[in-house]
Amino acid sequence: MDFDTQVKTAIYSHIAATTRTPAVAEVAAEVGAHPGEIREAFGRLYRKRVLVLQPDGETIRMAPPFSGIATQHRVVVDGKEYAANCAWDALGVPAALHADADVFSRCEQSLEKLRICVRGGRPEPVPCVIHFAVPAAHWWDDIVHT
């Protein structure tokens, strides 16, 4: 396994276990590398569109489907609460973890609470639709606002 893959795997393992995106120092300890090497790997993973970083260049904002900050999309799996980046990623969390989940979100217009239960490998029906405001060709113009 190459170094960047080790770093990526450590990041996702950390999130799955703790619900939090790890700091550079935590990934460095996990893979046994210098923090500077981890920062460089974070930069490469960002350029490959695996991660989205905060402006400081080292804090993970997104490791899709997981969010590094609290959002309106919360996903509870086995009693752990994960933050997701968007509607797609809210369902991406149970898809990635291969687990039942309760997705707590809202109607973007009315702000009415929305709960989607994923059970046995599929979401239970809920009256809702999903709107993508940005065409696929432009998602990475500003991936935080799609």
Partner 1 sequence: MSFFRSEERVDEWCRAHAVPRRPLMSLEQLWSLALAWYSNRLNPDARRPGPDEMRAIFTAAGLQGPFWDPQSDMFS
Choose one: 22-30, 31-39, 42-50, 75-83; the region binding partner 1 (CB under 8 A).
Answer: 42-50
Asked if 112 is part of the footprint of partner 1 (rule: CB under 8 A), the reply reads yes
Asked if 22 is part of the footprint of partner 1 (rule: CB under 8 A), the reply reads no
User: How many other CB atoms are found less than 10 A from the CB of residue 29?
Assistant: 14
Rg of the chain in Å (alpha carbons): 16
Residues 59-98 touching partner 1, rule: CB under 8 A, are: 64-65, 86-98
Shortest distance, CB of residue 59 to partner 1, whole angstroms? 20
Amino acid at 92: G
Q: Give the pair of three-digit tokens for residue 98.
A: 């291969």
Q: Which of 2, 24, 22 is nearest to 12 (CA)?
A: 22
Q: Give the pair of three-digit tokens for residue 103.
A: 């997705």
Q: Which of 8, 28, 41, 68 binds partner 1 (CB under 8 A)?
A: 8
CA distance 139 to 145: 8
Residues that bind partner 1 (CB under 8 A): 1, 5, 8-9, 12-13, 16, 48-50, 64-65, 86-98, 105-110, 112, 114, 116, 122-123, 125-139, 146
